[in-house]
Amino acid sequence: MEALRAEGIVLRKQPVTESSLVVTWFTREAGKLKTMAKGARRLKGPWVGKIDLFYHDELLYLPSRRGDLHLLTDCFVVEAHRRLRESVAGVAAAAYACELVEAITEVEDAQSVMFEELAGVLSAVEGGGATSGLMIWFEMRLMTLAGWRPQWRKPSGLERALQSLAGATRAGAQRVKLSEAQVREAREIVGRSWVEAVGRWPRSRAMWEQFSR
């Protein structure tokens, strides 16, 4: 069987044996993808320095014939995002972004635009640009790409601003400045739509909110 190639970002790592991991990726080509990385928990070996949360890698895998857990055969680091790990706020923002994507996507449903947006947000986090405006935009952007839209229930000034933010580019969203009161209200408004669409918020949301600005 021929190995398949993909470009992916590590969303999750789960130990399954003393030496191996199940790695959940979000890939450009196949969407959310699960692979078995045999020997990846060993301190020495071919996987050292190649697989960690938020890593952006090129990967090779053998597709499973019986399920959705594939065999990882090799990977090469494209971007390790090491600088975002230098602060708790950076890790919190990156973890939240990745959990949002994991929560709203199905296994092996290709979403190339969503992949680009996640990669862009992680780059923004690394550059110190993980503002509340950007992350609220990302929540709305993911819902739009998944086929849902926030429900605007009253024509308040903030809701009109959020509608404008939802249509902005990622770079434009980074420049948006919100007061603490606006952030609280925006999270309530967008959160209502997210819970209706997805069912629950990622667990990392509370940690992100502690460090957001």
pLDDT, tens digit, for every residue of 113-124? 999 999 999 999
Stretch 134-139: mean pLDDT: 95
CATH of the domain at 120: 1.20.1440.120
| 112 and 176 inside one domain | yes
Stretch 130-142: mean pLDDT: 93
Number of domains into which the chain is organized: 2
More confident residue, 61 or 158: 61
- Please report the pLDDT score of residue 169 as a whole number: 94
- Please report the pLDDT score of residue 51 as a whole number: 97
Using the 3D structure, point to which of 58, 79, 100 is the last residue of a domain.
79
CATH of the domain at 55: 2.40.50.140
- Please report the pLDDT score of residue 50 as a whole number: 96
| 177 and 203 inside one domain | yes
User: What band does 154 get if pLDDT is binned at 50, 70 and 90?
Assistant: low
- Please report the pLDDT score of residue 70 as a whole number: 98
- Please report the pLDDT score of residue 209 as a whole number: 87
More confident residue, 157 or 132: 132
Please state, for a pLDDT cut of 70, what percent of the chain lies above it.
97
Stretch 91-101: mean pLDDT: 96
Asked if pLDDT for residue 17 goes beyond 80, the answer is yes
| 23 and 48 inside one domain | yes
Residue 51 CB contacts under 8 Å (≥ 6 apart), including other chains: 10, 13, 21, 23, 37, 40, 57, 75
Which residue type sits at 199?
G
| 112 and 143 inside one domain | yes
- Please report the pLDDT score of residue 105 as a whole number: 96
Asked if pLDDT for residue 155 goes beyond 70, the answer is no
Stretch 127-140: mean pLDDT: 91
Token digits for 3?
Answer: 């190995």
Q: How many residues does the structure list for the chain?
A: 213
Asked if pLDDT for residue 77 goes beyond 80, the answer is yes
Mean pLDDT of the chain: 92
Q: What is the pTM of this model?
A: 0.93
Residue 133 CB contacts under 8 Å (≥ 6 apart), including other chains: 165, 173, 174, 175, 176, 177, 178
- Please report the pLDDT score of residue 94 as a whole number: 96
- Please report the pLDDT score of residue 91 as a whole number: 95
Asked if pLDDT for residue 213 goes beyond 70, the answer is no
Residue 47's domain comprises 4-79
Three-class DSSP labels, the chain: CCCEEEEEEEEEEEECCCCCEEEEEEECCCEEEEEEECCCCCCCCCCCCCCCCCCEEEEEEECCCCCCEEEEEEEEEEECCCHHHHCHHHHHHHHHHHHHHHHHCCECCCCHHHHHHHHHHHHHHHCCCCCHHHHHHHHHHHHHHCCCCCCCCCCCHHHHHHHHHHCCCHHHHHCCCCCHHHHHHHHHHHHHHHHHHHCCCCCCHHHHHHHCC
